[in-house]
Amino acid sequence: MARAETTSKDRNGIASAPASRLAAPIHEKWFLWIRDQEIPARSEEFFTVMNPATGEELCQVARGRAADVDAAVQAAAEALPLWSGMPTAARGRSLLEVARRLREAEDELALLETLNNGKPLRESRQDVEKVAEAFEFYGGLADKLFGATIPISPGYFNYTLREPMGVTAHIAPWNYPLRLALRSVAPALASGNTVVLKPAEETPLTALRFAKVLAEAGAPPGVFNVVPGFGPEAGAALASHPRVNHISFTGSVATGVEVMKRAAQNVVPVTLELGGKSPNIVFADADLDQALEGTIKAIFTNAGQVCCAGSRLLLEDSLYERFLTRLVDRTGKIQVGPGIEDPDMGPLISEEHRQRVLGYIRVGQEEGAKLILGGKAPVEPNCQGGYFLEPTLLTEVSNWARVAREEIFGPVLAIFRFRTAEEAIHLANDNPYGLAAGVWTSNLDRAHKVAAQIQAGQVYINDFFNGSVASPFGGYKRSGFGRERGMEALWHYTQVKSVCIRLKD
Ligand code: NAD
């Protein structure tokens, strides 16, 4: 964050903080991005974006509403014939160029992400790299979206065409602002669609900076548009817009339901990537050093603000005490601090969210769980002012407790014990969500059997969060439907046309 007393301004009105804290300029005001132009909101209003590590204002961002969404959708619709009609290899090459430019801009994008979202710089850098990988993957596939020929009878020639959906809307959350917004944008663009993106109101900066990367890589104006603003205003207007042909939504269940209702009015398909309460199961025959590090990664990455966080730890009875002792010791060593200092864990996104997480810790204790570590704000001087919370461990949690069933979205691990694999699978599946699961064991048979019985879109064995852009990602049950990443994502952004010709006798 550019602290008021230490910032200076250049002649373009760009405020700069000391190089020790900020290697890239942060504009004081940010605008909508429509047709490759930075434009103010129709209302000329702005909203404030905060630095979660300091609790201070970071900048002002144009507050998009329905009229702005309409202008962005119009721009995307007008750009569609040019983008979808372009030679597919050329479209692919421009996405590969985006990947190259993303890596070039990594320092700046990572810094912006860390200042805006709070995550450690190292994690922001990984996010930029993941986005570059997505543009490479889908850029390479742009000219490989083949149709099929269907042998119905000698008198007919039947083939299929895979065509873009048209204007696609992308509504993104704040926890991985750049990575989650662009994981759906990359396949949408590769398959010839144009885009209107509504980033989360807490974290619009990297999406706006990315827009320039895309334009510099040669994408025509209007292909990619960004309307920052609030959910009930810009988000709702985008989800309801009659000219939108597909909606990709990542966020909470409640908002996902709202988006789906709006899409239904226009008979528009949606991809919903929602919350999770993922089990992480450790069997006694696992490599315990690996399982310990994996457990820490599963819940404390991005301060637990991860949809597929391993927020329920299931420990086999015979290793419970041993593992717990090591877990408490290891968790106690986690360094919490401003993301810019690259600690193990940064702050939560907002004070409101920190209070929500603290509320869950209180409710958990009221429902019988034992708080064995954390549960409060850290006292270190570099954590004052920001929205920090100590890594927290809860034991003796009932699987019916709210902290076992509801997504906390913070650094809070609920710990359970089990005696048999069947009991572990029952505990794992007895939950409304089904996004991910971890399984730690050296028994290959057991690993595959448990993976087959877990109700989740992702199962990680002897690791957590593994897989790549090529691996499909999505939810079972209340975690949503449809898949992002992998070849699967491309099927959401294309529609199949069957063409059947009667041949001359
Ligand atoms: P959220 O639902 O509050 O907001 C997500 C987005 O929806 C934001 O851009 C917001 O402005 C917009 N929005 C809010 N109200 C809207 C409305 N009425 N109409 C249209 N858009 C609206 O979620 P959040 O708090 O930003 O993110 C956290 C949630 O996202 C968690 O539940 C988390 O699990 C989930 N998430 C899921 C995945 C996944 O891949 N499954 C990934 C990351 C986060």
Task: Compute the average pLDDT of residues 296-322.
Answer: 98
d(CA 140, CA 23): 33
User: In this prediction, what percent of the chain has a pLDDT beyond 70?
Assistant: 95
Is the pLDDT assigned to residue 17 strictly greater than 70?
A: no
Residue of the nearest CA to atom 13 in ligand 1?
231
Question: Domain coordinates of the chain in residue numbers?
Answer: 30-45+63-274+483-494, 279-468
Q: Does residue 275's CB lie within 6 angstroms of at least one atom of ligand 1?
A: yes
Judge whether residue 382 has pLDDT over 60.
yes
Q: How many CB atoms lie within 10 A of CB 409?
A: 25
* Amino acid at position 384, single letter: Q
pLDDT, residue 124, reads 98
- The finding on whether 198 has its CB within 6 A of some atom of ligand 1 is yes
Phi-psi region of 251 (alpha: psi -120 to 50; beta: other; left: phi over 0): left
Q: Answer for the pair 430, 473: CB distance below 8 angstroms, yes or no.
A: no
497 has pLDDT over 80 = yes
Q: Is the pLDDT of residue 20 over 90?
A: no
pLDDT at 411 over 80: yes
Would you say residue 1 has pLDDT above 80?
no
Question: Is 174 close to ligand 1, i.e. is its CB under 6 Å away?
Answer: yes
Q: Is 308 a catalytic residue?
A: no
Q: What is the pLDDT of residues 208-253, one digit of tens each?
A: 999 999 999 999 999 999 999 999 999 999 999 999 999 999 999 9
CA distances in angstroms from 327 to 170, 290, 297, 330, listed in the order given: 39, 12, 12, 5
Architecture (CATH level 2) of domain 30-45+63-274+483-494? 3-Layer(aba) Sandwich (3.40)
Write down the pTM of the prediction: 0.94
Atom of ligand 1 nearest to the CA of 230: 11
Inform me whether the pLDDT recorded for 65 exceeds 70.
Answer: yes
pLDDT tops 70 at residue 408: yes
Q: Is the CB of 112 under 6 A from ligand 1?
A: no
Q: What count of other Cβ atoms lies within 10 Å of the Cβ of residue 70?
A: 16
SS3 397: coil
Which of 305-338 are b and which e, b meaning 16 or more Cβ less than 10 Å from the residue's Cβ?
bbbbbbbbbbbbeebbeebbebbeeebeebebbb
Residue 505 confidence class, pLDDT cut points 50, 70, 90: confident
**Residue from 415, 419, 414, 457 nearest 435 by CA:** 457
Mean pLDDT (the chain, rounded):
95
User: Mean pLDDT, to the nearest integer, of 12-40?
Assistant: 70
pLDDT of residue 206: 98
Q: How confident is the model at residue 24 (pLDDT cuts 50, 70, 90)?
A: low
| C-alpha closest to that of 64 among 38, 42, 48, 49 | 42
pLDDT tier at 57 (50, 70, 90 boundaries)?
very high
CATH for 279-468 is 3.40.309.10
One of 307, 383, 390, 484 is an active-site residue; which one? 307
Q: Return the pLDDT at 320.
A: 98
**Residue 157, C-beta contacts closer than 8 angstroms, at least 6 positions apart:** 149, 500, 501, 503
The domains spanning 30-45+63-274+483-494 and 279-468 adopt the same CATH topology: no
Tell me whether residue 307 is one of the annotated catalytic residues.
Answer: yes
Nearest to 192 by CA among 100, 81, 34: 81
* HSE value, Cβ hemisphere, 13 Å, CA-based, for 271: 30
Rounded to an integer, what is the distance from CA 486 to the centroid of its chain?
Answer: 15
CA distances from 445 to 31, 254, 318 (A): 55, 38, 20
Q: Tens digit of pLDDT for each residue in 420-462? A: 999 999 999 999 999 999 999 999 999 999 999 999 999 999 9
27: confidence class by pLDDT, cuts 50, 70, 90: confident
Residue 26, pLDDT score:
82
Q: How far apart are CA 467 and CA 122, in angstroms?
A: 19
Residue 47 is encoded by which pair of tokens?
């909203």
CA of 407 relative to ligand 1 center, distance in Å: 13
What is the side-by-side order of every strand in the sheet holding 370-373?
A: 370-373, 392-395, 412-418, 312-316, 279-282, 436-440, 458-461
Rounded mean pLDDT of 168-179? 98
pLDDT surpassing 50 at residue 19 = no
Ligand 1 centroid to Cα of residue 231, in Å, is: 9
Report the candidate in 490, 332, 503, 324 with the shortest Cα–Cα distance to residue 417.
Answer: 324
Atom of ligand 1 nearest to the CA of 254: 2
Torsion sign across C-alpha atoms 465, 466, 467, 468:
positive
Percentage of the chain lying above the pLDDT 90 cut:
94
Q: Is the pLDDT of residue 283 over 90?
A: yes
